[in-house]
Amino acid sequence: EKGGYDYFMLKEIAEQPKAVADTLLGRIDNAGSLTLDEVRIPASVLREVDKVVIVACGTAYHAGMIAKLAIEHWTRIPCETELASEFRYRDPILDRRTLVIAISQSGETMDTLMALRHAREQGAKVLAICNTNGSTIPRESDAVLYTHAGPEVAVASTKAFLTQLVACYLVALYLGQVRGTKWGDEIRAVIRELASIAQDVDQVLETMEPVRELARSLADKDTVLFLGRHVGYPVALEGALKLKELAYMHAEGFAAGELKHGPIALIEQDLPVVVVVPSPRGRSVLHDKIVSNIQEIRARGARTIVIAEVGDETVVPYADHLIRIPATPTLLQPLVATVPLQVFACELATARGNEVDQPRNLAKSVTVE
């Protein structure tokens, strides 16, 4: 049932191009518009939404952090993403014009379920993004957009994460489409790019051998840091989470702009630091800033592992290890940038002799608060 792979996680990493393509299937029409009729929240209601709140845990929360950036950019509706376990304990401000999006692979995560129950009690509409048909979270929501990742067995979430991202982009673009924003042209262009993004994911998977080698060479390290900005920040957090749960290593993700506010004190000779570099096109200010962050940490001895777009030559002089990813629109980059981090964590776990599919102390779905 592992389809020739040693672990379910490896199989699930490899299934990502298909999972992404399946999640898009039937949701983009021939004219390049989105058809999300299955999301049974009427367009009239979506047009009235004045705030979006995303609740989720763990990896799904990282997808939610990226969704916030996409929703705010394409729709200009204020959006906040919150850990489901924190959400209801702060008496959040919600009403009928709030759209709450609950993201969960299993559909059974108790923290997320409690958060959405609280939201509905306050009159908010709840849309679930879920991978498990008929599970509790979609059953208790007003509407659901299913991810089509297929069953995910490994405790560490991989293909579910990529499909959660796809679903979040679809919702963000759909809200933009329904409400009409000044980003109409960009929305159409991104939909076209999304339609072929599975091939980019596939391309990343084909170039992972050096990442595996690198991971093996770091098996005796204690700490790995991850840095990113904008959508690269949640990707950094996700890379760190994967490493914690699988390799049992001290791993932390930071927003690169925070370095000077504390974390740079951690940098010492030969400390591995993974940096997710945004596309040099589009938001080039961010790109310049991260290049100087890489220079800063390298000057202090860090061993830099740089994930950057094909053709981005500016990072070459400062990268001890360079991992290339295909060029994508800025907001879609997590779909390709996360994959090397999954492979990295899986390989490090194996090299350290850990149980990849069943890490210690963890359960696939967390049904207690």
The DSSP call for residue 364 is S
Site for ligand M6R in 331-360 (CB under 6 A): none
Does position 155 interact with ligand M6R (CB under 6 A)? The reply is yes
- Of the pair 239, 326, the CB lying nearest ligand M6R is at 239
Q: Alpha-carbon distance 167 to 54, whole Å?
A: 13
Spell out a b/e string for 247-256, using b for 16 or more CB atoms within 10 Å of the CB, else e: bebebbbbbb
Residue 93: Cβ within 10 Å count: 9
| Shortest spacing between CB 185 and ligand M6R, in angstroms | 34
- Binder to ligand M6R among 24, 34, 60, 302 (CB under 6 A)? 60
Site for ligand M6R in 1-40 (CB under 6 A): none
The DSSP call for residue 4 is T
Does position 104 interact with ligand M6R (CB under 6 A)? The reply is yes
| Shortest spacing between CB 23 and ligand M6R, in angstroms | 15
From residue 226 to residue 255, the character string flagging contacts with ligand M6R as x (rule: CB under 6 A) and all else as - is: ---------------x---x----------
* Contact stretch for ligand M6R (CB under 6 A) within 18-26, 52-60, 64-72, 213-221: 52-60
- Binder to ligand M6R among 28, 57, 67, 331 (CB under 6 A)? 57
Does position 109 interact with ligand M6R (CB under 6 A)? The reply is yes
The DSSP call for residue 230 is T
Tell me which residue of 216, 247, 282 sits closest to 69, measured CA to CA: 282
Tell me which residue of 152, 154, 106 sits closest to 7, measured CA to CA: 154
Is 364 annotated as catalytic?
Answer: yes
- Of the pair 231, 241, the CB lying nearest ligand M6R is at 241
The DSSP call for residue 183 is T
* Contact stretch for ligand M6R (CB under 6 A) within 69-77, 139-147, 152-160, 306-314: 152-160
Q: Determine the size of the site formed for ligand M6R (CB under 6 A).
A: 16
What string of DSSP letters covers 13-82?
Answer: HHTHHHHHHHHHTTTB-TTS-B--TTS-S-HHHHHH--EEEEEE-HHHHHHHHHHHHHHHHHH---EEEE
Q: Alpha-carbon distance 11 to 14, whole Å?
A: 5
* Contact stretch for ligand M6R (CB under 6 A) within 25-33, 105-113, 209-217, 312-320: 105-113
| Shortest spacing between CB 122 and ligand M6R, in angstroms | 21
- Binder to ligand M6R among 156, 225, 271, 336 (CB under 6 A)? 156
Q: Which residue is nearest to ligand M6R (CB)?
A: 58
- Binder to ligand M6R among 23, 106, 163, 304 (CB under 6 A)? 106
- Binder to ligand M6R among 157, 279, 304, 350 (CB under 6 A)? 157
Does position 59 interact with ligand M6R (CB under 6 A)? The reply is yes
> Encoding tokens for residue 190?
């991104």
Element (H, E) at 102: strand 98-104
Q: Print the SS3 string covering 240-302.
A: HHHHHHHHCCEEEEEEHHHHHHCHHHHCCCCCEEEEECCCCCCCHHHHHHHHHHHHHHHHCCC
| Residues carrying an active site annotation | 364
Residues that bind ligand M6R in the complex, under the rule CB under 6 A = 57-60, 104-106, 109, 112, 155-157, 241, 245, 365-366
